[in-house]
Chain A
Amino acid sequence: MGRYFLRRLLLAIPTVLGVTVLIFVAMRVIPGDPLRTIIGEGQIYVLSDEELAAVKASLGYDKPLVVQYLVWMKDVGSGNLGYSFWQKDKSIADLVRRRGPITLQISLMALLLAWAIGLPAGIISAIKRNTIADYSIRGFVTLLMAIPNFWLGLAMILFTIIFFRWRPPIELTYLWDSPWKNLQMTIGPAIVMGFSFGAIIARMVRSSMLEILRDDYVRTARAKGLNNKTVIFRHALRNALLPTITISGLYLGATLGGSVAVERAFSVPGLGLSLIYAVQARDWTVIQSLVLLFAVAYVIINLVVDYIYAFIDPRIRYE
C-alpha cells in the first residue's frame, strides 16, 4: 500500500511540472510579447521603447526563456509568488492568505450541502423507482443541471433585494472573526453551488444504486433474509458511494477555481474574484500565480481522492 501511495505521488510530479510549463507558455510565449500586449492595450501606461526595454530588464525579460522559466520555478519553489504587476506593493502570497480561506470555506460548505441534498434524493429515487417521488426528483435534477449556477446566484440576489430589501454583504469577514456576518456573505454562493452539485450527486447515486441493486450479492443478501434496510444501507449504498466520492473530489477541485462566475455574481471577495479582476486588468503576475495555485490544489485533491478510494475499496490493487 505504501508503494502505491508513493507511485501516485511520483506520477503527480510531472503533471505539476507540465502545468507550470503550460502556464509559462500561455503567459509569456503565445502572444509573442505579453508586455507589448499589456502596454499596447492599456490606457493606463504608455511606455516608450527605452522604457519598455528598462521594464523588461527589471523583470528579467531580456534573458532567454529557459532562464526565465527556471527563475520563476525557483521563486515558486521558495514560496515567493511575487507582487501584482500594477501595484508593486501588493504581495500575491498575502492576497492568497487573505482571500483563500473564503473560497475554501464556500467550496466546503457547498460540498456539504450537495451531499446533504443529493444523497437522500438519490437513494429515494433509486429505491422508489418509477414512482411519483422518483419522477419529481429526476425532473428537479434535470432542471437544476440546465441552470447556470451564476445565474441562480443573480436570481437569488434579485429575490432578496425585491422581497426583503436585503443584499448579501460583500466586505471580507472571516468565520472566526464574525460568524454571523461571514455566513451572510458565504451562504448564498454555497447554496447555489451546493444545489448544482447536489443534482449531479443525486443522479450519480441513483444510477449506481440501481446498477448495484441488480447485482448477485444483493440478491444473496435478500435471499438470506436480511431486512430491506440492511440490504440497502449496508450492502448497496456502501458500494454506490465509491463513484460519488470520486466526483466529489473532482468537484471540490473544480469549485475551488470554477466558482469564479459565482463569486463574481455575489461579488464575494474570494480568490476567483481576484483572478477575474486580474484577467481584466491583464495583471499577468497575479494570473500566473493564481492559475498555478488552482491547478496544484486540483492535483492534490485528486491525489487525496485516489488515496481515500484505495483505502475504502479493497478491490483496487496496489500496483
Chain B
Amino acid sequence: MVNENNNFENVGDGDSPAGRSSNLVGATASSIFRFLQSSPIGAVAVILLIFIVFVGLFPGLLAPYDPNKLFYSELKTPPSSEHWAGTDFLARDSLSRIFYGARITLMVAVTSVFIGDLLGFTWGVASGYLGRRFDLISQRLLDMFIAFPTIILALLILAALGAGLVTVIAAIALIRIPGTARVMRSVALSVKEAQYVEAASALGASPIRIMFRHVAPQCFAPLLVVASAGLGSAIFTEAALSFLGMGVPPPTPTWGNMLGGVLNELFQPPWWLVIYPGVAITITVLAFNLFGDALRDYLDPRLRGRLEERT
C-alpha cells in the first residue's frame, strides 16, 4: 500500500503511470525513511503514536491494576504512590482506566475512520468520475447530510440506535462520509482531466475499468491525508459523545466517559479526575494531528487549502 506513495507524489499533474511495480519492501522502507527525514516533528509524532498504539493494544502490561477493580477504602483519593493518577468516585484506579481507555478510543477512531472514509472515498470518486446525473443526485444527498452540525447528526443517530460501541462507530463513520466524499470528488475531477485517462479511454477501456484502475489509485494519497487528519477529529467526537453519556457506556473506561463522571460532582470536582483523561486526549490528538500534517506536506502540499476549508 505504502509502495504506491511513489506514484502519488504528483497527484494533480496526472502524468505518472499508474501501478508502477518495484521491490515492495525496499520501496516501503525507503519511503518511510524519507518521510521521517522530511519532518522531524512528524518523526516525533510517529514515536508518540507507536507508544499510544502499544498502550492501546496491551494496556495490561502497563496498567498497575484491573480497570474495574474497586479499592473500597480509597474513594476519590488524590494521586499517591499506589495510585499515580488517584482513584475515582467508585474507588477505581484512574491510571489503569486511562490505559485501558486508550484501547477503546483507538479502536473507535480507527474503525470509524476506516469505514467512513472508505465509503466516502468510493462515493466521492464515483461521483467525480462518473459525473452527470449520478453526481448531481449524490451532491444533493450529501448536502442533506452536511446540513447537520456533525455532533447533532451523531446524537440523532445514537438517539435512534441507542448508545454502544458498535453504534458509536457507525455514527462517527457516517458523519465522516460527506466531508471525505466532497474532497475525493474534487480530487477525482482533476485526475479525470489527465492525459493518461484520455489515453486509456482511447485504447477502449471501459469507464468502470478506468475508474478503478486509473482514477481511484491516483486519489489514494489524498485519501491517506484525509484519513490521518480525520483520526484526531474522530477521537474528539468519540470523547464528546462519551462525555455526554451517549458513547461507549460505563463501566468500560473511555477518556470521554471518565470526564463525564466528573459532571455529577462539579461543586467539588477532584482535580485529578478532570486533568489526566483530558491530557490523554490532548496528547493523542496532538500526535495524530502532527502526523497528519507531516504526511500531508510529504504526500501532497497542494491539498492544504482544500482540507482546511472543511475544518
Contact = CB atoms under 8 A, between A and B. Distances in A.
B208 interface: no
Given A18-B141, A154-B262, A145 B149 contact: no
Interface stretch (A126-134, A177-185, A291-299): A291-299
Interface string B225-243: 0000000100010011001
A283 B156 CA distance: 12
A27 B311 contact: no
Interface string A281-302: 0101001000100110011001
B305 A19 contact: no
Interface stretch (A78-86, A88-96, A250-258, A306-314): A250-258
A15 B152 contact: no
Interface string A225-262: 00000000000000000010011000001111110110
Contact of B156 (A148, A150, A287): A287
B269 interface: yes
B281 A151 contact: yes
B246 A295 contact: no
Contacts of A30: 160-161
Interface stretch (B50-58, B112-120, B198-206, B282-290): B282-290
Interface stretch (B22-30, B87-95, B182-190, B271-279): B271-279
A280 B245 contact: yes
B308 A291 contact: no
Interface residues of B, number: 51
B104 interface: no
A154 B151 contact: no
Contacts of A145: 285, 289
Interface stretch (A48-56, A69-77, A112-120, A155-163): A155-163
Contacts of A264: 243-244, 263
B1 to A, nearest CB: 27
B147 A150 contact: no
A264 B290 CA distance: 29
A194 to B, nearest CB: 16
Nearest to A170: B266
A319 to B, nearest CB: 15
A2 interface: no
Given A18-B143, A146-B286, A279 B159 contact: yes
Contacts of B157: 26
Nearest to A19: B147
Contacts of A298: 147-149
The binding surface of chain B is classed by DSSP as helix
B150 interface: yes
Interface in A46-71: none
Nearest to B287: A146
A26 B160 contact: yes
A295 to B, nearest CB: 5
B155 interface: yes
B178 to A, nearest CB: 12
B155 A275 contact: yes
Given A26-B160, A143-B286, A246 B309 contact: yes
B259 interface: yes
B155 A276 contact: yes
B61 interface: no
Nearest to B245: A280
Nearest to A264: B244
B286 A295 contact: no
Contacts of A275: 152, 155
Contact of A158 (B246, B271, B277, B286): B271
A146 B288 CA distance: 9
A159 B144 CA distance: 41
A293 B271 CA distance: 37
A298 B146 CA distance: 9
Contact of A150 (B145, B161, B240): B240
A22 B304 CA distance: 32
B140 A14 contact: yes
Contact of B140 (A18, A142, A211, A279): A18
A18 B140 CA distance: 9
Contacts of A123: none
B147 A261 contact: no
A276 B262 contact: no
Interface of B: 140-141, 143-145, 147-152, 155-162, 232, 236, 239-240, 243-246, 259, 262-263, 266-269, 271, 274-275, 277-278, 281-283, 285-286, 289-290, 304-305, 308-309, 311
10 contacts: A15-B144, A30-B161, A148-B240, A158-B274, A167-B266, A207-B305, A258-B151, A261-B151, A280-B246, A284-B159
- The 7 A-B residue pairs with the shortest CB-CB distance, nearest first, are A18-B144, A257-B149, A146-B286, A151-B278, A257-B152, A146-B285, A261-B240
